[in-house]
Amino acid sequence: MKSVLNACVILGASLAAGAGFAEDKTALATFQAMKPEVALKLAQATLKSCRESGYQVAVAVVDRAGVLQVLMRDQLAGSHTPETARRKAWTAASFRTDTLALAEETQSGTAQSGVRFVSDAMMIGGGIPVSVAGSTVGAVGVSGAPGGAEDHKCAAAGIDAVESDLLF
């Protein structure tokens, strides 16, 4: 009798725990993502901003998972800049914060606050996540301007240029 009662309690608890799933009619999550046309426009606007400042750079735009969508390299940008820009964009998307802030957090002699080092992480200014309504939809990374702060300015200008497109 006691084992039947235990079985009923367990069954009841299991059904109650699954009730939340039963109320939600779908088993799939949805999310927002940048269309390739918007990612390209973001890369072009970022490149234009850097050119106007006199910098030859590479620009990378990644999706929310850090997968490359667009990569552009100005004709005189260094050969290392495309990979560096991609890694900055990947880092910004993965850590959901800009790489200029991460560079400050990870300076030598600074106490680390939960930042984990990953082989692709690039903790140098120039990578900024692209967010819409509090959700990260991608990131942009820039490499080739003189210093991470200048790369960051170009990336921010690119995001500003496509802001109205991102307000779905």
Q: At what angle do helices 36-52 and 148-166 cross, to 10 degrees?
A: 140
Fold classification of 36-166 is Beta-Lactamase (3.30.450)
Helices (H) and strands (E) in the chain, counts: 5, 4
Which pLDDT score, from 0 to 100, does residue 105 have? 83
Q: Would you kindly state where each structural domain of the chain is located, as residue ranges?
A: 36-166
Tell me if 46 sits within 8 A of 157, measured CB to CB. Answer: yes
How far apart, in whole angstroms, are the C-alpha atoms of residue 139 and residue 141? 7
Phi, psi torsion values for 159, nearest 5 degrees: -65, -45
pLDDT beyond 70 at 113: no
Q: Which residues pair with 60 in a beta bridge?
A: 71, 141
Say what the pTM is: 0.80
Q: What is the pLDDT of residues 119-142, one digit of tens each?
A: 788 899 999 999 998 899 999 999
